[in-house]
Amino acid sequence: MNIIVLGPPASGKGTQAKLLAKKLALQYLEMGDVLREIAKEATPVGREIDRIMHQEGKLVPDQMTRQVVDDWLKKMGTKRGIVFDGFPRSLGQFKILEELLTPRGEEIDKVIYLKVSRETSIKRLTARRICPQCDFEYNLVTKPPKNNELCDQCQVKLIKRKDDTPEVIELRLKTYQQLTHPLVKYVRQRGILTKIDGEKSIEAIHQDIMERLKS
Ligand code: AMP
């Protein structure tokens, strides 16, 4: 089964997609993470991606995401089923994914859409912290570290993600409205959308997703 997890920034898609992949023993692709690694590279492409992600709050060009997914699918080889986290995020990217899956005899079976309000998105993004050492993600409200603002594993002071500034948050929300929201509408029409209330606790949302996948 191939599942896409969609939602506005800080809807919890990363957390839920990881839980889902673990529970169903599926492979997992987190687009944001792959792109963040590329953005660290001291190359023209790395610098361009860094600017788009961390200053402009836009989506990186489709041809780049196509390459990432194509390479990743080839490397994975097997057909165990995949949870796609943060890809596709536009109608164009959805078509790209279909083009890449069709020759493998695969399709997109479900799209999980985590619905949260704009206010929740902003509140969560403002409270998000990451460990600079292991990249583990915390949220001071919904997923706090045990000790002050220190990583539970590394005991290192947590930091804010580079694109979690008020200016870039605003731009990312705009990008979501312009490009990702139309995709949600499209997959609803195709009858593969499962809408989930993303305002609940992490565990409650996971339970809801598992229930809905059974039906
Ligand atoms: P995320 O970690 O999902 O919040 O994504 C962080 C940033 O990575 C986004 O704001 C985009 O700049 C970039 N990004 C993530 N996924 C995609 C995608 N599917 N297409 C283009 N850019 C993406």
Average pLDDT over residues 75-91: 91
Question: For the domain 3-117+166-214, what is the CATH code?
Answer: 3.40.50.300
Residue 8's pLDDT is: 96
pLDDT (tens digit per residue) in 105-148: 999 999 999 999 999 999 999 999 999 999 999 999 888 999 98
**Is 90 exceeded by the pLDDT of residue 77?**
no
**CA 215 to ligand 1 center in whole angstroms:** 30
Residue 215's pLDDT is: 75
Cα distance between residue 55 and residue 27, in whole Å: 31
Nearest CA to ligand 1 atom 14: 32
- The neighbouring-strand residues paired with 84 are 4, 29
Residues with CB under 6 A from ligand 1: 9, 31-32, 35, 52-53, 57-60, 65, 86-89, 93, 172
Residue 5's pLDDT is: 98
Ligand 1: atom nearest CA of 54 is 12
Cα distance between residue 109 and residue 3, in whole Å: 6
CB neighbour list of residue 30: distance below 8 Å, 6 or more residues apart: 14, 17, 18, 85, 86
Residue 145's pLDDT is: 96
**Is 80 exceeded by the pLDDT of residue 14?**
yes
CB neighbour list of residue 137: distance below 8 Å, 6 or more residues apart: 14, 15, 128, 129, 130, 143
User: Residues 198, 204, 205, 211: is their CA dihedral positive or negative?
Assistant: negative
Residue 62's pLDDT is: 95
Average pLDDT over residues 72-90: 91
Residue 85's pLDDT is: 97
Over pLDDT 70: what percentage of the chain?
100
User: Is 13 noted as a catalytic residue in this protein?
Assistant: yes
Average pLDDT over residues 2-7: 97
Over pLDDT 90: what percentage of the chain?
94
* The one catalytic residue among 36, 124, 129, 172: 172
Ligand 1: atom nearest CA of 52 is 12
Cα distance between residue 45 and residue 4, in whole Å: 26
Residue 144's pLDDT is: 94
Strands (E) in the chain, as ranges, are 3-6, 27-30, 82-85, 110-115, 128-130, 137-139, 193-197
CA distances from 80 to 38, 67, 73 (A): 26, 21, 11
User: Is 89 noted as a catalytic residue in this protein?
Assistant: yes
User: Is 128 noted as a catalytic residue in this protein?
Assistant: yes
Cα distance between residue 106 and residue 200, in whole Å: 32
Mean pLDDT of the chain: 95
- HSE-up (13 A, CA, CB side) for residue 19: 14
Residue 110's closest CA among 187, 192, 185, 188? 192
* The one catalytic residue among 161, 188, 195, 200: 161
pLDDT (tens digit per residue) in 45-66: 999 999 999 999 999 999 999 9
Nearest CA to ligand 1 atom 3: 32
Domain boundary assignment for the chain? 3-117+166-214
Residue 214's pLDDT is: 87
Nearest CA to ligand 1 atom 6: 32
* The one catalytic residue among 36, 89, 124, 129: 89
Residue 78's pLDDT is: 72
pLDDT (tens digit per residue) in 182-208: 999 999 999 999 999 999 999 999 999
User: Is 161 noted as a catalytic residue in this protein?
Assistant: yes
Cis peptide preceding 88, ω within 30 of 0: yes
Strand, helix or coil for residue 187: helix
